[in-house]
Structure 1
Amino acid sequence: METLSGLGIFVETAQTQSFIATGRQMGISASAVSKSISRLEERVGVRLFQRSTRTVRLTSEGEVFLERCKRILDEIQAAEDDLSAMTQFPRGRLKVGLALAAGLPLPAISAFMESFPEIELDLDFTDRLVDVIDEGFDVVIRGSDLSDSRLMSRPLRPYRPCIVAAPSYLEKKGTPGKPADLVNHACLHYRWRNSGKLYQWPFKKKSLKDAAGTLPIAMVCSDIEALLYLAKAGRGVACLPDFAVKDAIAHGRLMPLLDSHLTGGNTFHIVWPSSRQMAPKVRVFVDFMVEHFAAGLVTEKAH
């Protein structure tokens, strides 16, 4: 068991390239991760990682060893899934990738935990497009279409962008009637965590997109909840997904703006690897999310 644990720590470290991040993911200290890697290197007789003050990277020997370890751990997982399938009782660890979506998945996740207490959830929140198979996810909920033939998917429900501002802000600064009017407003922007690029507000025509490129920047952040808070506090105009602002709009804390000028939107999908038998824990999670996830989304325009 210690050997298997060491292999798991090794694979996780190869993915995170950080003892600290691996420890955080696995619930152990960075020191424990380092010691585990050192014991593994001593046992196999080669150096698996090149260490620096900021990161750790695989050696050429480590890259070869990583592929073998992944296959070993996949076989163990497949064996556990086969046994679970025999009993038809969903149990075990389920690694789930989730989009950073202003808390949208949390009510459904909480309800799932109550319904299936034998399933241990390992939740990973990110705005990047994860590699479901290579990163070892059992299932991923993401706000984009399926583009990988190795995956199966089911749609959850669409969402769309909304430009909003607080009534208190509009009383002071006035209400923009067209996108070009935003040059005179405090605009609150979202930055993608993975790429560092600003989210471009999706206006319909090219001329309006050009205008959007010149929008003032009063604030930039990489957290939807922070952006929502500051918009409700009257600090400026923000572009947020409709599910994030629907409650604030319903209670009059935010006002929708320039809706007829917007385009875009996407659909949340739940995806999972198609290469192996669908384990009961995956099947019940997929079915549960299809039934319950959409409760937090908007079925019609938010105003």
Structure 2
Amino acid sequence: MDKLSGVEVFVQTALAESFVGAGRTLGLTPSAVSKSISRLEERVGVRLFQRSTRSVKLTSEGQVFLERCQRIMVEIDSAENELSAMSDEPRGRLKIGLPLAGGLPLPVISAFMQAYPDIELDLDITDRVSDVIDEGLDVVIRGGELNDSRLMSKRLGAFRLHLVAAPAYLADRGEPTKAAELTNHACLHYRYPSTGRLEPWPLRRSRTAAGELALPMTMVVSSLEALLYLAQAGRGITCLPDFAIKEALAAGRLKTVLDRHMTRSTVFWILWPSSKQMTPKVRAFVDFAVERFKVGLVD
């Protein structure tokens, strides 16, 4: 069991590239994670990580070992799922990947916990695209295009991005009537925490006579909640999903602008490995999410 525990700690550390991140996932202190890795390295006789003050990176030997260990963890999960499938009652641990979506999935998770108390939940909430199979996840909720033929999927619903600002801000600075006028406004942008990439504003016309429209970078922040707060405080115009702003719009704290100039809607999907037998716990969550997830969406 100690060997198996060490393998799990190793895999989580490799994925998080951090003792702190691995410890947060496993419920261990960073010191306990570090000691477990050291014992594993001593046992196998090679260094698995290059350590620095900010992160840990796999060595070439560690990369080879990770591939083997991930397959081992997947096989263990499969064995547990096969045992779980022998029972008609949904039970056991369910590993779920969720998006950073302004709290949208959380009411579904809370209601599911109440409906299925025998299922233990292990949540991975992140903006990165989780690899469902390699990371041993049972099910994932994801927004965007699907391109993995190894996964089964069901549609949960769609959302649109809107440009919004506080009425007081628009009264003071003026309401833009075309995309080019955004260059005269304070623009608040969202940055994806895991990649550092900025969320593009899906404007229908994003070119000017001088070329591509360059929006002011008044503020860049990696939190939807922070953008929502700052926009309501009158600090500028920002781009947010409709489910995150519906209450503020209804209360008059925010107003949409340039609606006719916005394009593109995005679909939320629920995904699970097609190679695994669909266990009662996975089936229960998929059916529950399909029924309940759309309640939080605008459409």
Task: Give the TM-score of the pair, scaled to structure 2.
Answer: 0.94
Tell me what 2:227 maps to: 227
Tell me what 1:84 maps to: 84
What is the DSSP-based 3-state SS (H/G/I as helix, E as strand, rest coil) of the residue aligned with 2:46? coil
Alpha-carbon distance in 2 for matches of 1:113, 1:209: 55
Alpha-carbon distance in 1 for matches of 2:262, 2:77: 45
What is the number of equivalent residue pairs in this alignment? 299
**Letter of the 1:281 counterpart:** K
Q: Once the 2 structures are TM-superposed, how far is the Cα of residue 61 of structure 1 from its aligned partner?
A: 3.3
Alpha-carbon distance in 2 for matches of 1:200, 1:123: 27
Q: Once the 2 structures are TM-superposed, how far is the Cα of residue 118 of structure 1 from its aligned partner?
A: 1.7
What is the DSSP-based 3-state SS (H/G/I as helix, E as strand, rest coil) of the residue aligned with 1:87? coil
**Letter of the 2:295 counterpart:** A
Alpha-carbon distance in 2 for matches of 1:101, 1:49: 33
Alpha-carbon distance in 1 for matches of 2:24, 2:210: 42
Tell me what 1:204 maps to: 204
Alpha-carbon distance in 2 for matches of 1:255, 1:45: 62
Cα distance change on mapping 1:25 and 1:176 into 2, 3 Å: same
8 Å CA contact retained: 1:139, 1:270? yes
Tell me what 1:43 maps to: 43
What is the DSSP-based 3-state SS (H/G/I as helix, E as strand, rest coil) of the residue aligned with 1:158? strand
Cα distance change on mapping 1:170 and 1:59 into 2, 3 Å: closer
Tell me what 2:293 maps to: 293
Alpha-carbon distance in 2 for matches of 1:272, 1:86: 19
Unpaired runs of at least 5, structure 2: none
Q: Once the 2 structures are TM-superposed, how far is the Cα of residue 210 of structure 1 from its aligned partner?
A: 7.8
Cα distance change on mapping 1:211 and 1:228 into 2, 3 Å: farther
Alpha-carbon distance in 2 for matches of 1:52, 1:173: 47
Q: Is residue 67 from structure 1 mapped to residue 67 from structure 2 by the alignment?
A: yes
Tell me what 1:192 maps to: 192
Greater Cα shift, 224-233 or 75-84: 75-84
**Letter of the 1:114 counterpart:** Q
**Letter of the 2:73 counterpart:** L
Greater Cα shift, 166-175 or 103-112: 166-175
8 Å CA contact retained: 1:90, 1:116? yes
Q: Once the 2 structures are TM-superposed, how far is the Cα of residue 5 of structure 1 from its aligned partner?
A: 1.3
Deviations along 1:239-270, one digit per CA (max 9) or x if unpaired, are 11111111111111111111011101210001
Tell me what 1:182 maps to: 182
Q: Once the 2 structures are TM-superposed, how far is the Cα of residue 92 of structure 1 from its aligned partner?
A: 1.9
8 Å CA contact retained: 2:167, 2:253? yes
Alpha-carbon distance in 1 for matches of 2:20, 2:217: 34
What is the DSSP-based 3-state SS (H/G/I as helix, E as strand, rest coil) of the residue aligned with 2:50? strand
Task: Give the TM-score of the pair, scaled to structure 1.
Answer: 0.92
Q: Once the 2 structures are TM-superposed, how far is the Cα of residue 209 of structure 1 from its aligned partner?
A: 11
8 Å CA contact retained: 2:206, 2:212? no
Cα distance change on mapping 1:124 and 1:48 into 2, 3 Å: same
Q: Once the 2 structures are TM-superposed, how far is the Cα of residue 152 of structure 1 from its aligned partner?
A: 0.9
Alpha-carbon distance in 1 for matches of 2:250, 2:233: 16
Tell me what 2:2 maps to: 2
What is the DSSP-based 3-state SS (H/G/I as helix, E as strand, rest coil) of the residue aligned with 1:160? strand
